[in-house]
Amino acid sequence: MGFPQDATLGDAGEFGLIAELVALFPQGEQVLVGPGDDAAVLRVRHGHVVVSTDLLVEGNHFRLDWSSAEDIGHRAAAQNLSDINAMGGRASSLTIGLAAPADLPARWALDFARGFAAECSLVGASVVGGDLTRSDKVVIAVTVLGSVTEAPVLRSGARPGDTLALCGRQGWAAGGLAVLGRGFRSPKVLVDAYKRPEPPYDAGRTAAEAGATAMIDVSDGLLADAGHIASASGVAIDVHAAAFDVAEPLQAVGAALGADPMQFILGGGEDHPLLATFPDALAVPPGWLRIGTVSEGSGVTVDGAEYDGPTGWTHF
């Protein structure tokens, strides 16, 4: 680091910090012009460009006393990379806007960048630019660009008779959040799942190639996000609770908190698995779990009945 270890963002200054951050983000072959100009220039070889933007606000989406700067970097990248994955595509480039107090240690920003870069490396994506400014709390804005080689998989394509399937870990981040909210740090595997989600980055393209009719990443909650597919597609979705194997750590947290562990699975978000519909059960790729059915109608049910537990996070 080109400034003292105890330097704050105010000490480092905008351009001093930018110089340090840029060095942490290697550029891929798709980048013609990277950080340092008014805008990046990217090479698009074929297919369609897909773009998504997310915000993370201190106190709403993360807490500095719960997660390290690297953890937050991983999470910020993961939730954006997962959005491109959910379209059946692959992320290639990202920009980051960081607003933070002037007295925040500069090493926090660098550790955040290291975590962000490490997560991006899992899919070969490059950070190609961004912005820095002062704020009373940490606010992170990320825009991600990627591509799909064929038509993107939308939320609106599910049809009656389709099979609902899930790929990736679900409910673990919600279990970890419940633990942290009670002031505990165990089971560690759930706390770690909350701090650093593990989206199935190869599953989106696999699902698209297998003929997925609709797809979404589970960021707000399984039932809430299934509801987005149901609404956009004009169909009804029924989730089969028996399809899920409730992992031992979730059972332990449920017992400790006096809660049904299925509420973490059905209502939990932030693990970023993929939820998709396929034309029939035989079309579901290996590694995906069949968890429900699509029919005529509207709304989402669990085992044929309205679910009376939490269905997911609401932002307002």
Binding residues for Mg(2+): 38, 52-54, 83, 131, 217, 220
Residue with tokens 């505990």: 184
Cα–Cα distance measured from residue 148 to residue 85, given in angstroms and rounded to the nearest whole number: 9
Cα–Cα distance measured from residue 311 to residue 223, given in angstroms and rounded to the nearest whole number: 5
Cα–Cα distance measured from residue 244 to residue 291, given in angstroms and rounded to the nearest whole number: 7
Annotated binding site for ATP, which residues? 130-131, 155, 219
The DSSP call for residue 297 is S
The DSSP call for residue 37 is B
Cα–Cα distance measured from residue 122 to residue 47, given in angstroms and rounded to the nearest whole number: 22
Cα–Cα distance measured from residue 29 to residue 42, given in angstroms and rounded to the nearest whole number: 9
CB 118 within 8 A of CB 125: no
26: region left, alpha or beta (phi > 0 left; psi from -120 to 50 alpha): beta
32 contacts: CB under 8 Å, gap ≥ 6: 41, 42, 43
Annotated binding site for substrate, which residues? 61, 270, 313
CB 106 within 8 A of CB 3: yes
Residue with tokens 């100009």: 37
Nearest partner of 161 among 315, 278, 52, judged by Cα? 278
Cα–Cα distance measured from residue 59 to residue 2, given in angstroms and rounded to the nearest whole number: 30
Token readout for 117 is: 């870069």
Annotated binding site, which residues? 38, 52-54, 61, 83, 130-131, 155, 217, 219-220, 270, 313
For 222, list phi and psi in degrees, rounded to 5. -60, -50
In single-letter form, the type of residue at position 291 comes to: I
